[in-house]
A and B are shown apart, each in its own frame.
Chain A
Amino acid sequence: GENVEQHPSTLSVQEGDSAVIKCTYSDSASNYFPWYKQELGKGPQLIIDIRSNVGEKKDQRIAVTLNKTAKHFSLHITETQPEDSAVYFCAAKGGAGSYQLTFGKGTKLSVIP
């Protein structure tokens, strides 16, 4: 089955700096890669996603890049703010016929004011 590795497990940045979280996946048939943000005491919330026919996608301060050849994808947050502090999860969905997401283990991001 699919295996998703996520790094780093914790990340501290100064407010205004950029943060990058990286994930690798094992199943070359995977075609959908979402990123979730989980604030303390809440459920995960989808913040951005990318499909295998796209190399990069941006939404304001958040961007995701995908390298299908290397089987890795990354989340980039620019101009970080204290409210960006949370746990971030990457995930991958297998190819046709797959209805499951495989999640990475999460990255705890702390933005220091």
Chain B
Amino acid sequence: NAGVTQTPKFQVLKTGQSMTLQCAQDMNHNSMYWYRQDPGMGLRLIYYSASEGTTDKGEVPNGYNVSRLNKREFSLRLESAAPSQTSVYFCASSELLRVDEQYFGPGTRLTVT
């Protein structure tokens, strides 16, 4: 039982490049979330998926797209990376919209130069 896994762990992009961050969970959770964590800013919600087939914007969705591929997987895409998107990205999962029982992945550290 791996919990929530994220790939890659580290990534360096040039401005304008695109990439997809992958997240998978093996806890049979309905809901999944993407956060970014910046120094001195805490965690901010980018997008979430209440259940398979649905996605909704969080606090800071601009510049990102998401795909809920199936119940297990939730990906985050940067179409044209900008230096302002340099951050650590965390994926989380929970029972249906049970934000009080979220389980976080280990994070992806992204640097955009």
Contact = CB atoms under 8 A, between A and B. Distances in A.
B42 A106 contact: yes
Contacts, number: 53
A42 B100 CA distance: 19
Contact of B106 (A41, A99, A104): A41
B50 interface: yes
Interface residues of B, number: 23
Most A CB within 10 A of own CB, among B40, B42, B90, B101: B42
B99 A105 contact: no
Interface of A: 1, 4, 6, 9, 32, 34, 41-46, 49, 89, 93, 99-106
Given A9-B40, A43-B4, A99 B48 contact: yes
A104 B104 CA distance: 17
Contacts of B102: 46, 101
Interface of B: 4, 31, 40-45, 48, 50, 58-59, 90, 92, 97, 99-102, 104-107
Most B CB within 10 A of own CB, among A1, A89, A103: A103
B45 A105 contact: no
24 contacts: A4-B42, A32-B99, A41-B107, A43-B90, A43-B92, A43-B104, A43-B106, A44-B90, A45-B104, A46-B101, A46-B102, A89-B43, A93-B100, A99-B97, A99-B99, A100-B48, A100-B58, A101-B43, A101-B99, A101-B102, A103-B43, A103-B44, A105-B40, A105-B42
